[in-house]
Amino acid sequence: MVIKKVTEKEKNIRANIRAKNESVIKVEDVYKIYKLDGIEVRALDGVSFDVKKGEYISIMGPSGSGKTTLLDALSTMMNPTSGNIFIEGKNTTAMSPSELAAFRGNKIGFIFQTFNLLPKLSALENVMVPMWINNYPRNLRKKTATEVLEKVGLGDRLHNRPNQMSGGQRQRVAIARALALNPNIIVADEPTGNLDSKSGKNVMELLRKLNEEGKTIVLVTHDLNLGETTDRQIYIKDGKIVSKREDAFGNRFK
Amino acid sequence: MPIDTIFEAIKNLRREGIKTFLTLLGVVIGIMAIVSLASIGAGLSESVTAQFEELGSNTIFIIPSGMGVAKISLTQNDIRNVENIIGVKSVVPIYSTQAKMEFNGKKINVSVNAVEEDKSDLFGGTGYFEVGEGRNFSKNESSSILVGNKIGKDYFDKEINIRKQILINDVAFKVIGILEAQPASFGGAPNSSSVVYMSYEGFKKITDKTDATIIFASSQFKDETSDVAEKIKDYFDKKYGEESVTVSASEQLLDQINVMLGMITLFIMGIGAISLVVGGVGIMNAMLTSVLQRTKEIGTYKALGATSQKILAIFLIEAGLIGLIGGIIGIIFGYATASLIAYIGTESGFALNAIMTSDIIITSLLFSMTIGIVAGILPAIRAANLDPVEALRFE
């Protein structure tokens, strides 16, 4: 997969801008500990980091490293065993499940590896799902959904069902759904994992475009090439953040 | 919010097509059974009530206990004594016997009913029968008879026409009328289509029997009817012993019959309700399967901001809707079935009638919806409690 890499100069310019921005996501000493057959498993073992407004970062690590758990925690899908997670200044670990659901629905857009579209609904109806869940004004739903689908290049596929579309198109419907309520944060879990390289490249370009428009994006991947197209990488291994990619992945990719 | 959830539930049901249809079927059959039975039951109760209203509410029935094998007879003496009880306005004894009827060279056995000449309009007035062809009795007609529809049309090789001569126990009678075909009815009136009616004067020519089969008495005042019935009962109890003669005011009798009908209807409806419970188990099964199949979808809903309450509501509404829609279809089919049964029944001689009341509709809709929701509770709770992270990655 050939994806345009951001030059060092561009990265520096962005980094300088961001340094002045406030944190959109603040992960503070987060632990997630499971008991599995009586054995303690530390999926997250004291993780702390910040994501600034408008940043495009990737969380990378081999399978079993805890990156998915970290994504679940920072996207408020899962409560950590201890530690705090602040999204746009609000401590999500202190919220009730209902508050959390509403908060998540409006603040975070999700993109999944397996798209998670509803198979019997058209592209338009799929994009409208978060709208009825989050009580978006009824009379604006169709218009807004059409707009976001046009934005991802599917203006001519509004009434197609997922099984009438290619994988790349499906993922773009999913991206349109993530944008439906115009959240500031997008989390993408292996968004190209089920796509061929050309569709994958399209999706990555779309994410870059969204970032340039001001969205904060957190990408989770085990694919180094993909992860390193983002502005900043967080490497994770055995539930801990490590500073270098070699610490996470070994020397395989040297 | 609820509107959206209801729309979404409807959409989900439509997506599931065949499965929804089969689940519905369970409810439809249950409700159909209950509604058709309730409808027939209500029809029966209504027609019985109507028959009693024709008799008049101050009528008192006096019948020897143990129909057919009665130990005692109502003698002429009894008739006179009842007439003399204070409050009694009139007494009409009905006499009946089996007799040989001869026509066109063929002899058959028939039931003969008779009433005293000056009281002969009692028959017509109570809806006992209606004269189809010909006319009813007038005065001094000891040689005239009315023949039931079946006797007139079917019993002999040749149809009996009015003005024909007929021998009954070797006595000659003239047919003055043929009765209207009448469905069998509940509440007392015997089937008039295989019976011959004549005056008591005629009756005395064919038999020596002077005892009445039934006595209809009427009270002077409507609100005294029960008291008068009580006095008549005392007379018979004293003369023949307790419970030897059944004396009932028409309203009491109507109440008794309605209570009995209600019990029978309820019992059969109970059996229908069991099938509805089975329908409910069907809903629960379908919803549980649905929760399993849609685990990933539920996870997605949660990621997109759905609260557990919303997931709970979706599934409860879906189950409730299955109950409600099944109920509506069941009522329609149930009424259709009842009408069909009533039609077939009437054709074959039973006075059945299908009736739809708002009570039946409201009760069965509430019942079917409740069954749906109750059956949906467990699956809905299961869906609502799914862990979002696990549900999202469920394969």
pLDDT digits (tens, 9 = 90+) for A56-79: 999 998 888 888 899 999 888 988
Q: Which one has a higher pLDDT value, A109 or A248?
A: A109
What's the pLDDT band for A211 if we cut at 50, 70, 90?
very high
The candidate with the shortest Cα–Cα distance to A55, out of A191, A192, A210, A171, is A210
Among candidates A97, A129, A132 on the partner chain, residue whose Cβ is nearest the Cβ of B307:
A97
Dist. CA A61–CA A189, nearest whole Å: 13
Q: Give me the half-sphere count of Cα atoms (radius 13 Å) on the Cβ side of residue B50.
A: 11
DSSP result, A89-114: TEEGGGS-HHHHHHHHHHHEEEE-TT
Q: State whether residue B243 is helix, strand or coil.
A: coil
Q: Alpha carbon of B199 to those of B61, B131, B152, B196, B216: distances in Å?
A: 20, 15, 19, 10, 16
Query: Is the Cβ pair A134, B310 closer than 8 Å?
Result: no
Q: Do B307 and A101 touch (CB under 8 A)?
A: yes
Record: contact A78-B388, CB cut-off 8 A: yes
Q: Hey, what's the torsion of the CAs at B198, B199, B205, B211, to 10 degrees?
A: 100
- A104 and B305: CB-CB below 8 Å? yes
Give residues with Cβ within 8 angstroms of B334, minimum separation 6. B31, B32, B33, B34, B35, B36, B38, B39, B364
The chain A residue lying nearest B314, using CA atoms, is A133
- Which of B382, B376, B369 shows the shortest CA–CA distance to B281? B376
Residue B283 CA, chain-centre distance (Å), reads 33
Q: Does this complex have an ipTM over 0.90?
A: no
Nearest by CB to A116, which of B7, B15, B300? Answer: B300
- Chain A positions touching B1 (Cβ under 8 A) are 135
Q: Where are the beta strands (DSSP E) in A100-160?
A: 108-111
Contacts of B305 in chain A (CB under 8 A): 101-102, 104-106, 130, 133-134
Q: Using CA coordinates, name the residue in chain A closest to B17.
A: A120
Q: pLDDT at position A186, please?
A: 94
Identify the pLDDT of residue B188: 46
B301 and A133 within 8 Å at the Cβ level: the answer is: yes
Gap from B4 CA to chain A (nearest CA, Å): 6
CA distance B24 to chain A (A): 21
Chain B residues inside the 8 Å CB shell of A120: 15
- pLDDT-based confidence at residue A171 (cuts at 50, 70, 90): very high
Q: What is the mean pLDDT of residues A137-147?
A: 91
- Dihedral (C-alpha) B241, B244, B248, B252: value to the nearest 10 degrees? 90
CA gap B184, B180 in Å, rounded: 12
CB B344 within 8 A of CB B256: no
Q: If 0-12 CB within 10 Å is exposed, 13-18 middle and 19+ buried, where does residue B288 land?
A: middle
Residues 6+ apart with CB under 8 A from B208: none
| Element (DSSP H or E) covering residue B334 | helix B308-347
Q: Which amino acid is at B247?
A: V
A182 in contact with B, Cβ within 8 Å = no
Write down the residue that tokens 């990719």 correspond to. A253
Report pLDDT for A56. Answer: 93
CB contact under 8 A, A105 and B1: no
Low-confidence ranges of chain B (pLDDT < 70): 1-2, 54-56, 67-71, 117-129, 182-192, 349
DSSP character string of B55-80: H-TTEEEEEESSTTS-SS-B-HHHHH
Shortest CA distance to A239 belongs to which of A22, A12, A34, A17?
Answer: A34
Tell which wins on pLDDT, B129 or A217. Answer: A217
Numbered residues of chain B with Cβ closer than 8 Å to any chain A Cβ: 1, 4-5, 7-8, 11, 15, 296-297, 299-310, 388-389, 392
Residues of chain B contacting A97 with CB distance shorter than 8 Å: 307-308
* Comparison of pLDDT for A166 and A6, the residue scoring more: A166
CB-CB under 8 Å, A98 with B301: no
Nearest CA in chain B to A101: B305
Q: Mark yes or no for CB contact A134/B297 under 8 Å.
A: no
Residue B1 to chain A, least CA–CA distance (Å): 7
d(CA B355, CA B46): 9
Q: Do B303 and A102 touch (CB under 8 A)?
A: no
Chain B residues with CB-CB distance to A134 below 8 A:
304-305
Query: Between vectors from CA A162 to CA A159 and to CA A166, what angle results, nearest 5°?
Result: 105
pLDDT of A251: 66
Q: Do A112 and B388 touch (CB under 8 A)?
A: no
Give the pLDDT score at A3. 59
Whether B304 sits inside 8 A of A72 (CB atoms) is: no
Report CB contact under 8 Å: A101, B15. no
Is the Cβ–Cβ distance between A121 and A165 less than 8 Å?
A: no
* A39 Cβ contact list (under 8 Å, min separation 6): none
Contacts of A139 (CB under 8 A, 6+ apart): none
A207 CA: distance to closest CA in chain B (Å): 19
Q: pLDDT confidence of A31, banded at 50, 70, 90?
A: very high
Predicted local distance difference test score (pLDDT) of residue A254: 47
Give A107→chain B minimum CA distance, Å. 9
Compute φ and ψ for B199, nearest 5 degrees. Answer: -85, 160
Contacts of A110 in chain B (CB under 8 A): 303-304
Amino acid at A223: D
